[in-house]
Amino acid sequence: MRIFITGAGGFIAGSLLKQAPPDCEICAQTRGLPLWAREGLRWWRADPCDPSEMTAVLTEARPQAILHTAALANIDYCEQHPDEARAVNVEVTGTVAEYAANSGAKLVFLSTDNVFDGERGLYQEHDPPSPIHVYGETKSEAEALVTALPNGVVARVAVVTGLPALGRGNSFLAWMLRKLEAGEEVGVPANEIRTSIDAITVARALLELAGNDFSGIIHLAGNDRLNRFEMVQRIALRLGYDPALIVSNDPTVLPGRAPRPMDISLDNQLARRVLRTPMLGLEAALALITENRGDVSPRE
C-alpha cells in the first residue's frame, strides 16, 4: 500500500513514519529536508500552501491513502494570525480533499478535541462542533471538507503525550522533561480536563484507518479522563521525577493566551469497537512510550 503523509516533519507524522510497517510504501511531504531514510520511504518537497505544487506531488506519488497531518496547531498563534491559520488548516485541506475526490484516494484527516466548547465533556462523534477559538474553528471547517468525501475519515485526537520520533517536534512531554531535569517547576492548569492519548497509539490507529474500510468521524483518545494537573503529575512520577515540581497555575492570567475549553474529553467507544489498535489508559501509554524510547526510562 502507498500512503502519502502531509506535514511529515511534524510530531505525529514522525511517529507515523516510525510505526509504518516495512511493507508499506510511504511518500512523506515536507517543506524542508528529509529527516530519516528507510526502504520504501520517499520524501517529497512541496509547499502545502501552493495548491498547484501540492497537487503536482500528489499526482506524481499516486497514493492509495493520504494521512493529512499538516497543520498550524499552536492555539495562541492561530488566535493572533487567523488568516494564516485558515490558509494552512482549511485551504490546504481543501487542496488535499479535492485531489482525493478526483483520484479516489482515501483521506484520513487529523483533527482535534478542540472543535468542542468544553461545556460538558465525553463528546461523541455525532456531537456538533462548537469551537471557542480560531484553531478550533479552522479544524471544524476542514472537517466539513473531509466528511463530504465518500471515503473521508476525520480522526479527532485528544491531547497527545509522547516524545518526537524524528527531529524535535511539538512535544509538551519533551519540553516538560527538560524543565524537570533542570529541577524547574512546570506550571499546568488544573481546570482543563482531557483524555490524553500517546503518539504511538495515534500513529498505529491512523495507519490502520488508512488501510481499512471505515469512513466518517472517529475519536482517538485515552481511556482515562483527567485534569491536566493530575495527568502531568502522574507522568512525572512514572518517569522518576519529583511530582512536587508540577504546580497548578491559572492560565487565564497569561498574556496572549487564547481561551481554552474546560472539558473536551472524548468518548472513545467507537475506536475501541472498530479498531484493532487498542486505546490505552495513561499508565499503559507511558509504558509504551518508555518501551519505545529507552532514553526516557525512569531515573534510578
Mean residue pLDDT of the chain comes to 94
What is the mean predicted confidence (pLDDT) over 70-86? 97
Rounded to whole angstroms, how far apart are CA atoms 186 and 29? 34
DSSP code string of 139-150:
HHHHHHHHHTST
Residue 33 pLDDT more than 90? no
Sign of CA dihedral 107, 112, 114, 119: positive
Assess if residue 300 is contained within a domain. Answer: no
Q: What's the whole-number mean pLDDT along residues 151-168?
A: 91
Which CATH number is 154's domain given?
3.40.50.720
In a domain, 211, yes or no: yes
Residue 71 belongs to a domain: yes
pLDDT of residue 64: 98
Grid cell, residue 116, equals: 468542542
Q: How far apart are CA 133 and CA 125, in angstroms?
A: 20
For 64, the domain range is 2-170+196-225+264-283
Here the contacts of 240-246 (C-beta below 8 Å, separation 24 or greater) are 240/297, 240/298, 240/299, 240/300, 241/177, 241/180, 241/181, 241/299, 242/180, 245/179, 245/180, 245/183, 245/184, 245/185, 245/186, 246/185, 246/186, 246/188
* pLDDT at 253 exceeding the cut of 90: no
Rounded to whole angstroms, the Cα distance separating 95 from 108 reads: 14
Question: Comparing 110-119, 198-207, 232-241, which segment has the lowest mean pLDDT?
Answer: 232-241
Q: Is residue 136 part of a domain?
A: yes
Q: What is the pLDDT of residue 285?
A: 96
Query: Stretch 150-161: mean pLDDT, rounded?
Result: 97
Question: What is the average pLDDT across 268-289?
Answer: 97
Side chain identity at 75, as an amino acid letter? I
Residue 168's pLDDT band (boundaries 50, 70, 90)?
A: low
Q: What is the pLDDT of residue 167?
A: 67
DSSP label at 182?
T
What is the mean pLDDT of the segment spanning 92-120? Answer: 98
Given a cut of 50, whether residue 296 has pLDDT beyond it is no
Task: Evaluate if residue 300 carries a pLDDT over 50.
Answer: no
pLDDT of residue 68: 98
**Per-residue model confidence (pLDDT) at position 299:** 38
251 versus 95: the higher-pLDDT residue is 95
Dihedrals φ, ψ of 36, to 5°? -165, 155
Inside any domain, residue 180: no
- Residue 246 in domain: no
Is residue 145 included in any domain, yes or no?
Answer: yes
